[in-house]
Structure 1
């Protein structure tokens, strides 16, 4: 297992736009980067990822009862993949979508 790098050593950032669905049922988004979860907010944010490619980014929504709208995408070193949009389904169940912007 690789040792974690000190803060500030990652130079690559991915812009992630999390769009709020019509029916959220008080849900909040969570972003996962290589399996590690981070709380997020609705809207546009940037996330630090390792410089070498193959980073798996995932987003899911949760409320106090259940988790839904899970979507994952592998982001390589290609600059066209530095902007990603997450969209959940219309209803509070089922998968979401992560697509390049």
Structure 2
């Protein structure tokens, strides 16, 4: 799903107040990282991730790879951090109400 500029702005504002939930280390993006990201996205819809020093990928590469493989949207990349969004249909998850396009 392609996000509009207003939706990206809304998600960036929401991401400003959350702490990182996923760390990518010296192994880069692995199957375990993908599984953890998918589980976290199902539970929260919006996650902030950190690429640590010594990682073979930078934040943009890691964000684009995770977004592509998980069917998520890369909301923003700043320094070593990036934000992913994916709508969750799981019960009990507080859904983010996106602004209409």
Q: TM-score range by the shorter chain?
A: under 0.3
More helix by share: 2
TM-score (norm 2): 0.26
**TM superposition score normalised by structure 1:** 0.26
Please say which structure displays the higher CA radius of gyration. Answer: 1
- Of the two structures, which has the highest relative contact order with CA contacts closer than 8 Å and spacing of 6 or more? 2
